[in-house]
């Protein structure tokens, strides 16, 4: 079964052809980073306009790369939720148009759910039940996956997503958006014990995450304690007064705390499931922050200690891509789940 997947939920325009849910024949991603960098974040209107310009060439390139024609495609898939509505609409409209013109099935896929699938690409099937972790720019959530289609959310962030915290910490250090990958590189040359940033635990049995305290602590470390003067909040200094070494130390200490927060809740979720009599066999991880070097090492340690089959996506499938969309769509289609031309783009996730 050949599925053409389309992804346009945020600022990446992507298309991919995947055979039988696992064999990735092409994986084309057109990033828009350069269009948003001067604004310090994704500007929805700019993103949707760029998707309109890029979607057709990206689809053509994906077909070409897979050495197939549109007629060879068995079904169309698109990320239909969650995301920026103007961005989602472009991918959904493209997939619906092709499904209508080719008279082929269409499957709308939840982007967060698809991140969990990314570690199944180009690999043998994992065993279930599995513990699931999505760490991206928009989501930080834990799941019990009884199968790839039976997913129960165990916890989620109550404020920022971990990727968002990375990007905001980077911005406080004067680094261009998206700063997550740059913090990862700076941390390699920094002392991760230089600062003892807070790791939120929330209630003792909570499986939710919170990153706002960590973010505020990083801000005060960089700029000093805030003071109110003339009705305004003023800081003692700004990031330009920090040396490279000081910045690297903050990046490394931030990263230690952020990873600690993720691992802590993962551990709690594993124990909580064991108490419910659910013994997980695998750990499915996805989302942009699963590209983080420290998190990858810590997750490997966690999985090894508990004899879990760790499904960390290859680097090209960590960030937003359409292969994970096509892969999950195949799973759904095999289970008899498909949509029709009434498929709509929805800004919120079902997961
Ligand atoms: O999954 P993704 O591409 O988009 C969403 O669905 O949100 O994730 C993007 C996020 C951004 O916040 C980016 O800074 C972060 O993933 N990211 C990283 C790394 N690579 C990407 N964060 C930490 N370390 C990295 N190496
Ligand atoms: Zn994503």
SS3 of the chain: helix, strand, coil, percent, to 5: 45, 20, 35
pLDDT single digits (tens) 187-242 = 999 999 999 999 999 999 999 999 999 999 999 999 998 999 888 999 999 999 99
User: CA 230, CA 69: separation in Å to the nearest integer?
Assistant: 66
User: CA 54, CA 105: separation in Å to the nearest integer?
Assistant: 23
- 3-class SS letters over 29-56: EEECHHHHHHHCCCCHHHHHHHHHHHHH
Task: Please name the residue that has the structure tokens 């997961």.
Answer: 351
pLDDT single digits (tens) 243-296 = 999 999 999 999 999 999 999 999 999 999 999 999 999 999 999 999 999 999
Ligand 1 nearest atom to the CA of residue 9, by list position:
6
| Cα-based distances in Å from 224 to 79, 87, 136, 241, 242 | 43, 39, 29, 11, 12
Where are the extended beta strands (E) located within 53-175?
A: 75-81, 106-110, 130-135, 140-145, 151-156
* Residue 292 CA, ligand 1 centroid: distance in Å: 8
pLDDT single digits (tens) 64-106 = 999 999 999 999 999 999 999 999 999 999 999 999 999 999 9
Nearest CA to ligand 1 atom 19: 181
What is residue 95's predicted lDDT score, i.e. its pLDDT? 98
User: CA 61, CA 59: separation in Å to the nearest integer?
Assistant: 5
Helices and strands (DSSP H and E) totals, the chain? 10, 12
287 lines ligand 1 (CB under 6 A): yes
pLDDT single digits (tens) 100-137 = 999 999 999 999 999 999 999 999 999 999 999 999 99
151 lines ligand 1 (CB under 6 A): no
User: CA 312, CA 25: separation in Å to the nearest integer?
Assistant: 20
- 3-class SS at 128? coil
Nearest to 135 by CA among 306, 297, 348, 284: 284
Mutation choice for ligand 1 from 289, 316, 318, CB with most ligand atoms inside 8 A: 289
- Residue 256 C-beta-side C-alpha neighbours within 13 Å: 16
Q: Is the pLDDT of residue 40 over 90?
A: no
Name the strand (E) or helix (H) holding 221. helix 212-223
Query: Closest ligand to 255 CA?
Result: 1
Instruction: Please state the φ and ψ torsions of residue 24, each to the nearest 5 degrees.
Output: -85, 110
Q: How far apart are the first and last CA of the chain?
A: 26
Mean pLDDT, rounded, for 18-29: 98
Give me the sign of the Cα torsion angle 59, 62, 65, 69. negative
What is residue 189's predicted lDDT score, i.e. its pLDDT? 98
110 lines ligand 1 (CB under 6 A): no
Q: 31-35, 115-119, 302-306: which has the minimum mean pLDDT?
A: 31-35
13's tokens: 């325009």
Give the single-character DSSP code of 237.
Answer: -
């Amino acid at each position: 079964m050949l599925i053409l997947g389309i992804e346009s939920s945020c600022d990446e325009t992507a298309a991919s052809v995947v055979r039988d849910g696992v064999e990735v024949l092409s994986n084309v991603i057109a990033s828009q980073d350069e269009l948003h960098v001067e604004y310090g974040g994704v500007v929805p209107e700019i993103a949707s306009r760029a998707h309109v310009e890029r979607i057709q060439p990206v689809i053509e390139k994906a077909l070409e790369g897979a050495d197939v024609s549109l007629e060879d495609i068995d079904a169309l898939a698109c990320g239909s939720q969650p995301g920026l509505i103007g961005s989602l609409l472009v991918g959904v409209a493209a997939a619906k148009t092709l499904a209508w013109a080719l008279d082929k099935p269409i499957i709308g896929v939840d982007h967060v759910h698809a991140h969990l699938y990314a570690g199944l690409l180009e690999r043998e099937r994992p065993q279930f039940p599995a513990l699931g972790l999505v760490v991206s720019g928009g989501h930080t959530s834990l799941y019990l996956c009884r199968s790839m289609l039976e997913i129960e959310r165990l916890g989620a962030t109550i404020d920022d997503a971990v990727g968002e915290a990375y990007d905001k910490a980077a911005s406080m250090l004067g680094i261009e958006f998206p700063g997550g990958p740059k913090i990862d590189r700076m941390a390699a040359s920094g002392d991760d014990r230089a600062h003892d940033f807070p790791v939120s635990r929330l209630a003792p049995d909570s499986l939710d995450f919170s990153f706002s305290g960590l973010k505020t602590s990083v801000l005060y470390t960089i700029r000093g304690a805030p003071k109110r003067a003339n009705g305004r909040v003023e800081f003692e200094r700004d990031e330009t007064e920090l040396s490279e070494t000081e910045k690297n130390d903050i990046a490394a200490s931030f990263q230690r705390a952020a990873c600690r927060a993720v691992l802590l809740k993962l551990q709690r979720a594993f124990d909580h499931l064991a108490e419910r009599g659910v013994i997980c066999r695998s750990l499915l991880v996805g989302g942009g922050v699963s590209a983080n070097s420290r998190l990858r090492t810590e997750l490997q340690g966690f999985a090894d200690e508990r004899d879990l089959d760790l499904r960390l996506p290859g680097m090209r499938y960590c960030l937003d891509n359409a292969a994970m969309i096509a892969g999950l769509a195949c799973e759904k289609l095999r289970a008899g789940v498909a949509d029709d031309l009434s498929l709509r783009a929805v800004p919120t996730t079902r997961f």
